[in-house]
A and B are shown apart, each in its own frame.
Chain A
Amino acid sequence: MKIENTKAQLRKGALELVVLSIIQQEEEAYPTDIINSLKKAKLIVVEGTLYPLLSRLKNGALLKYTWRESQGGPPRKYYSLTEDGEAFLTELHSSWRDLVDAVDTTTKSLSLS
């Protein structure tokens, strides 16, 4: 039983919520911007794990994207939330709050060094 695995599971569980939140706050987000936010928050270690997640959220109709021209490079994909995505995020966020409260309550009296 490795603690790193459990930690990774925790991060992974929160990732969908976090990615959707970042996109919502930015309104339109370019994957590299999402990666930079995630790296700052230490939520991902390698970038390769983000692309399948974005693809899955897009295929689940929670995200959509538009192509935009970039300066001196090929066009870039900008992701934004669909209506379903907005609803999903609201629901997910309230579940997250509940979960945090529940975990806080049950671990409050832990005496840790």
Chain B
Amino acid sequence: MNKVIQANLGGIAFTFDDEAYERLDDYLASLDGYFNHSHGHNEIMHDIEARLAELFSANLKGRSIVTTEDVSAAVATMGSPEDFGIEADDLEEETFEQRSFGHQSRNRKGGKQRYSRYGKRLMRDPDDTKLGGVCSGLAAYFGIEDPLVIRIAFVVAVVFGGFGVLPYIILWAVMPVAHTAGDKLAMRGEAIDVRTISKQVEEEFSNISSKLQEWGDEVSKTDWSSKFGGGGKRRNQKRNNQEPHDEGYMV
């Protein structure tokens, strides 16, 4: 048995299965991010939603629930931001240079400040530090895979006349720390959208879980069994017995 979700798409009420709804929601969010800076952003989204509704209605043919297959088919017809690529309509006659350089760039037509989605920022990387994360931040900024290269360069500069110390301190003071997932993407110059942010968050979770794993290993070295008299083993047996029942849900 699966949960279903009711939603209004382009003025029509649909019933989605849980997973289909999640997929569609992610997809719409990615489009929303893509068209975010264009004139008529709301109108474009509205038109696209109306078209998706039409595609679902045509596809359902009397079925009552929109499935992930329906969503996938509609997404394939409509296309994802990655598919738009070169076919994309130039939303704001934005030049390549404006997109690529500078985190904040000035929009020629409107003259208003806006954030470029592809800007790269020089920031310290808190996940990969030997001292202050300056070297790993620099490595990310210049697209060097291994920050060790920069670290060696600094160490060499320090050894030969102590020249590296002052620049390091200045950079440490000047470079902000990349705290959020968005910051870390900006540090590496990756586009900030739903896909990359979710990837970043997943990476952070796997970091945490590997740290927990290490901690768990340490804990397991301690001899707990003498204290609890093998209670854990009994619990496991009980869980095993329950499993066949868990598998027996209706599909």
Binding site for B on A (CB under 8 A): 5, 8-9, 11-12, 15, 31-32, 44-49, 51-56, 58-59, 73-77
Contact = CB atoms under 8 A, between A and B. Distances in A.
Given A55-B38, A76-B50, A77-B47, 16 more contacts: A15-B89, A32-B54, A45-B87, A46-B77, A47-B77, A49-B84, A49-B89, A51-B44, A51-B51, A55-B47, A56-B91, A59-B40, A73-B11, A73-B53, A74-B10, A74-B50
Q: Is the interface of A mostly helix, strand, loop or mixed?
A: helix
12 contacts: A12-B86, A12-B87, A31-B47, A46-B78, A46-B87, A47-B78, A51-B51, A52-B38, A52-B88, A52-B91, A58-B43, A73-B57
B79 interface: yes
A45 B12 CA distance: 26
B194 interface: no
B130 to A, nearest CB: 42
A65 B40 CA distance: 14
B79 A5 contact: no
B39 interface: yes
Contact of B86 (A8, A48, A58): A8
B79 A51 contact: no
A75 B54 CA distance: 12
For the residues of B in contact with A, the DSSP-based class is helix
Interface in B74-101: 77-81, 83-89, 91
A20 to B, nearest CB: 14
Interface in B41-85: 43-44, 47-48, 50-51, 53-54, 57, 77-81, 83-85
Given A31-B47, A56-B40, A77-B47, A48 B91 contact: no
**Which of A31, A51, A54 counts the most chain B CB atoms within 10 A?**
A51
Interface residues of B, number: 30
Contacts of B134: none
Contacts of B38: 52, 55
A74 to B, nearest CB: 3
A46 B80 CA distance: 8
B135 interface: no
A5 B39 contact: no
Given A48-B78, A59-B40, A74-B11, A53 B89 contact: yes
Contact of B83 (A5, A15, A48): A48
A31 B77 contact: no
Contacts of A59: 39-40
Contacts of B85: 8
B87 A8 contact: yes
A53 B10 CA distance: 19
Nearest to A58: B40
A31 B54 CA distance: 11
Nearest to B92: A56
Contacts of A52: 35, 38, 40, 44, 88-89, 91
